[in-house]
Amino acid sequence: MRQIVLDTETTGLSPAAGDRIIEIGCVELLNRRLTGNNLHLYLNPERESHEDALKVHGLTSEFLQDKPKFDQIAQQLLDYVQGAEVIIHNAPFDVGFLDAELERLGQGPFAKHIAGVVDSLAMAKQLFPGKRNSLDALCDRMGVDNSARTLHGALLDAELLADVYLALTRGQELLIEDSHLASSAQANRMDLRGMRFKVLQPTEQELAAHDKLLAELDKASGGKTLWRQLEARQAGDLPPSAVA
CA distances from 188 to 183, 185, 196, 208, 222 (A): 12, 9, 20, 41, 48
What residues does each domain of the chain span? 2-175, 204-242
Residue 237 class from Cβ within 10 Å (0-12 exposed, 13-18 middle, 19+ buried)?
exposed
∠ Cα 219 242 234 (to 5°): 80
Distance from C-alpha of 7 to C-alpha of 99, rounded to nearest angstrom: 14
* Three-state DSSP class for residue 39: strand
C-beta separation of 53 from 8 below 8 A: no
List pLDDT tens digits, range 48-89.
999 999 999 999 999 999 999 999 999 999 999 999 999 999
Could you give the residue numbers annotated as active site?
152
Distance from C-alpha of 8 to C-alpha of 130, rounded to nearest angstrom: 26
- Residues in the chain, total: 244
pLDDT at 175 over 80: no
DSSP 59: -
Mean pLDDT of 166-181: 64
163 pLDDT band, cuts 50/70/90, is very high
Fold classification of 2-175 (topology level): Nucleotidyltransferase; domain 5 (3.30.420)
pTM: predicted TM-score of the whole model, two decimal places: 0.70
Residue 154 parent element (H or E): helix 154-168
Model pLDDT, residue 187: 46
C-beta separation of 50 from 12 below 8 A: yes
Distance from C-alpha of 15 to C-alpha of 97, rounded to nearest angstrom: 6
